[in-house]
Structure 1
């Protein structure tokens, strides 16, 4: 069986962690490549979060040399809303409608502004409990587009807390007692309570380094889980994220504490120094490896449409093949009938009628294919324009020297097309090299780019301030962008 290669991405507040996996068969998963890239200091200035993610991911892919083209990503815990609800007794065929009603009532955003999914803890229970998980549509859309801009096909969009729960359930199947996974990050902490088939997520805006305050919040969360969620008290704590002293935490909570190893069921070369930080990556990789895993799909609308087009593609190819085959059959039948012109006219008439009937059946199929191709062209063009702007911003960022940053940008329009972009750049005087014009150097560097042509020019000469100066460049694309 051919090995299945894919990557998982943990995109959080500090940067992007990547892992490339190879699935050799059922139950056998191998970690082949991994890496981490932090967001550049001040990367949010003049760039959208989507562009920052896209450029950082490109750098990480270049550094690791990953070959896999399929990706699974997760929305960070701070950006995820989750709630456990109990369903009233309803008929099985009305469960989906009831769950949607609960989602509309409990998710604190308009339902058409979020992507959401649910997980039923125990489908056989007399009283069903459902975990609702949601994230803002724009955030999920941006992560998908930033990933696609680097040539990756997004297979799944999950939630970081759910991925951590999957890493525990798949990596520690022998643990059956109630437990708490504490994933300490540089800016926030994910708490995942696992109690049999039930689970509960809470994300604290407290860094793992602020241990005294963090442990107070952990104690409050344990009390909340027990009193408000009717959960069992954790009997064990697993530490993830690389922060915290197990002895100190165990002494404060009065519980056995151990370092979480999300790779214990995954093959690797043993040189992974920060394996405790791989919880989200491993959980995304193992989300379809066990029946107890949480299956969540936070895919935005654009990705759902793309999946539909992928599923319909084989049908379109089959329709074309049927049309061609039917045409060949018709031609062969016609030639044979002409050669046997002496046969009875009734046989010839019946054959022609059969072929005409088959041809009439193909007409609506061909019309449907044309309609699908027209719709696909619209989506592909919209994605191409968005990816083009991401590439333009990434190219610009790579060519900006140290000490320069983009303050403002706008499109240069020429009729119904965009001929380029006008950018306002600020430059720290103490960072500019002596003996040369940094503005001209930047302009010439951009002219050598594959995106901007030689007509790119300085629109407004530098305006000097106390410690910096600003200037404006008009950058013209080699190929205008149609609207």
Structure 2
């Protein structure tokens, strides 16, 4: 059993589960007394066994550290949570919580009653306010929390790994006055954490250690577990041909395969940096730190220095943390970069965490509420018992004064009635203001959404022999209504929009439709507002294999898009007005793609991409 004053932290990653035991020093700092770590199988084909592996790993670590049946604060990986940084207009603190709740309903891609979410206001310069929203599906969080409970531990706070890493970084590098990027390379995803003064921004990308292992398994046609073993035993990142020429043929080929698998990461970093600068007012990083299990690959520091052209070093979360006698100093010096989440979680107990996100499961929140109410219930019971003793005397005196109090109350009510109408009028004005603010926020969100979607199209069609010539939003698109490469859904833009005069709308008339009403002024319940639910992209290609390139580019949107999807709801002809969900094949998305150039300079193609978040059109 752990000391009641001990701080127990747990990091549940996709491949590594770590646990740390801390205490607070006399000066308010942290002392690492014990820690241990274990790995679980990260093979995507073995996902069904992941939760049992986590449960066993937590139980083993708790037993080794001697902290069974204690309360633990744990962090969940960035891939499991949804994180969004949202800008808000300047509002009083009394109104910000209501606005944040509205923003959460707009940004979280699940019904708000199906997620556990939390938020925190960020201290950023400028007139606008900024908050970070973090959410996780309730059932996914319950599964992880059940693993913790079944392993014999009790839940304290629940944080997201990127937020814990932010806290650890801020504490260990307080004097860093230039923009920095922390790249946390996990098994399935990597967290990109930008820090500039008090400004932060995080994004998870689907590139990690498993990406490298999968590439090795595919290249050498071996099982995932064997590829993982080869990566950990003989793997390194190739730097250049001169570097690989000094190796034996097998080692050089393996190093080249690993470098190829990692080559996407610098491009994702550049893309995220541009978004951070354009949408959040940040600056490009001047220093780079790396952490996580993926940073153990030899030469990975040199790889990022070459690609990013910035100084790169491994993150040390123990820079300002004391190490107790029970810790193997040699081991911790090698593995320090893996302990950032544990340190970040422990900082909340000593009051040095700048971010305090708590994704507490409903069952844990219910226990907290019961514990919070318990003292009041005991006190209330004592008061009730004591009250019975004086009840008789009080009742006798109360009857005599009731009539007098009633008269005073009636007079006071009459005085207050003069204020009722102004208050009712102010309430109506508040509702009108809220409606205007809501429209403003909706327009702002739509603008940011389109910028992101256009940027994603630009990134995925980035090829010198493929270019886009038209980007057309489509209203009420249905894949079953595609004929000869055309859709019956209307374009949201006028055909002659280049000739539209300044100040006049370029939206097609369908975008200005109003709800239908019958002769008695009753609204048609079957009316569905026009929705932009797809975009039509037209372009041209040249060169060899241009047609197949277009198909591959379209598939990128299906695999990793934030804005587009191959899955959508359509009318079910066999069930009346009901709908069904279908997954579109590539030939339903790439509706036109000339297979050869013939005698033309370039060949045309047309791609219709459904939107993940359809946008309503109304006056």
Q: In the TM superposition, what is the alpha-carbon distance from 1:99 to its structure 2 partner?
A: 0.7
Q: What secondary structure sits across from 2:183 in the alignment?
A: strand
Q: Confirm or deny: 8 A CA contact 2:69 2:152 kept in the other structure.
A: no
Change (3 A) 1:53 1:3: closer
Change (3 A) 1:289 1:192: farther
Change (3 A) 1:106 1:23: same
Q: Are residue 259 (structure 1) and residue 338 (structure 2) matched?
A: no
Partner of 1:410: none
Partner of 1:134: 135
1:155-166 alignment, distance < 5 Å: 155-166=156-167
Q: Are residue 243 (structure 1) and residue 296 (structure 2) matched?
A: yes
CA deviations on 1:141-174 (whole Å, 9 max, x unpaired) are 2222221223322110111111111110111111
Q: In the TM superposition, what is the alpha-carbon distance from 1:179 to its structure 2 partner?
A: 0.6
CA deviations on 1:283-313 (whole Å, 9 max, x unpaired) are 1111354566111111121111111011122
- The counterpart of 1:294, out of the listed 355, 358, 361, is 355
Change (3 A) 1:257 1:95: same
Instruction: Compare the two structures and name the one with the higher strand fraction.
Output: 1
Q: What secondary structure sits across from 2:56 in the alignment?
A: helix
Q: Answer 1 or 2: higher relative contact order, Cα 8 Å, separation at least 6.
A: 1
Partner of 1:348: none
Partner of 1:429: none
Change (3 A) 1:276 1:68: farther
- The counterpart of 2:373, out of the listed 312, 337, 340, is 312
Partner of 1:215: 266
Q: In the TM superposition, what is the alpha-carbon distance from 1:13 to its structure 2 partner?
A: 1.1
1:66-85 alignment, distance < 5 Å: 66=67, 69-85=70-86
Partner of 1:149: 150
Q: In the TM superposition, what is the alpha-carbon distance from 1:127 to its structure 2 partner?
A: 1.2
Q: In the TM superposition, what is the alpha-carbon distance from 1:190 to its structure 2 partner?
A: 1.0
* Residue-pair matches, total: 334
Q: Confirm or deny: 8 A CA contact 1:185 1:243 kept in the other structure.
A: no
Moved more, 60-69 or 309-318: 60-69
Instruction: Compare the two structures and name the one with the higher helix fraction.
Output: 2
- Paired with 1:193 and 1:250, the residues of 2 have a C-alpha distance of 17
Q: In the TM superposition, what is the alpha-carbon distance from 1:251 to its structure 2 partner?
A: 2.6
Q: What secondary structure sits across from 2:322 in the alignment?
A: coil
Q: Confirm or deny: 8 A CA contact 2:59 2:152 kept in the other structure.
A: no
Q: Confirm or deny: 8 A CA contact 1:7 1:21 kept in the other structure.
A: yes
Q: Confirm or deny: 8 A CA contact 2:347 2:353 kept in the other structure.
A: no
Change (3 A) 1:19 1:66: same
- Paired with 2:301 and 2:191, the residues of 1 have a C-alpha distance of 17
Q: In the TM superposition, what is the alpha-carbon distance from 1:178 to its structure 2 partner?
A: 1.1
Q: Are residue 284 (structure 1) and residue 284 (structure 2) matched?
A: no
- Paired with 1:187 and 1:306, the residues of 2 have a C-alpha distance of 33
Change (3 A) 1:100 1:123: farther
Q: Confirm or deny: 8 A CA contact 1:6 1:69 kept in the other structure.
A: no
Change (3 A) 1:47 1:322: farther
Q: What secondary structure sits across from 1:265 in the alignment?
A: coil
Q: What secondary structure sits across from 1:282 in the alignment?
A: helix
- Paired with 1:261 and 1:106, the residues of 2 have a C-alpha distance of 34
Partner of 1:10: 11
- Paired with 2:188 and 2:353, the residues of 1 have a C-alpha distance of 30
Q: In the TM superposition, what is the alpha-carbon distance from 1:119 to its structure 2 partner?
A: 1.7
Partner of 1:182: 183
- Paired with 1:176 and 1:193, the residues of 2 have a C-alpha distance of 13
Change (3 A) 1:126 1:286: same
Change (3 A) 1:65 1:92: closer
- Paired with 1:352 and 1:313, the residues of 2 have a C-alpha distance of 25
- The counterpart of 1:226, out of the listed 269, 277, 280, is 277
- TM-score where L is the length of structure 2: 0.50
- Paired with 1:215 and 1:46, the residues of 2 have a C-alpha distance of 28
Q: In the TM superposition, what is the alpha-carbon distance from 1:43 to its structure 2 partner?
A: 11
Change (3 A) 1:25 1:149: farther
1:42-121 alignment, distance < 5 Å: 49-66=50-67, 69-121=70-122
RMSD of Structure 2 on Structure 1 (CA): 2.9
- TM-score where L is the length of structure 1: 0.63
Change (3 A) 1:125 1:25: farther
- Paired with 1:251 and 1:201, the residues of 2 have a C-alpha distance of 23
Q: Confirm or deny: 8 A CA contact 1:3 1:25 kept in the other structure.
A: no
